[in-house]
Amino acid sequence: MTPEERVAELKSHRKSDWQERRLRAHAEKHGEDFIKVIGRAPTPDQLRELSRSIVNQPNAVLAEINEKGQLEYHFIRFIQGSECAIIVTSRAGFTRTAYPAVVYEDWLSRHSAAIEVQ
């Protein structure tokens, strides 16, 4: 992949959005995790806005081929003064998940094939 193609690919992932059903499910599923990291559980609308913010201004972006052979991008926002980060993952034009990693290094060790692209 050329650098120009890589930039275009990353740009397309930055335009990804949630499917409504998945957004509501993730807001509920990860509510307790968010409380541990940021002190509150976001509503679905807040989770959408938080995801957009992280995708548009990440601290790091990693690419990874998942177990099904699909390319995923992980947009990472570190929580200042802690070991935590919030991970937003996109694949095939959609935001697939957003959740806090209480210890980012533990999350990263489970994604050892991911490569930093930004």
**pLDDT tier at 1, thresholds 50, 70, 90:** low
Which SS3 state, helix, strand or coil, does residue 74 take? strand
Q: Which domain holds residue 70?
A: 3-116
Average pLDDT over residues 14-38: 89
Total count of domains within the chain: 1
pLDDT, greater one: 43 or 18: 43
Residue 24 and residue 63: Cα distance in Å, rounded? 25
- Judge whether residue 107 has pLDDT over 90: yes
Average pLDDT, the chain: 89
- Judge whether residue 8 has pLDDT over 70: no
What is the pTM assigned to this prediction? Answer: 0.88
- Judge whether residue 67 has pLDDT over 70: yes
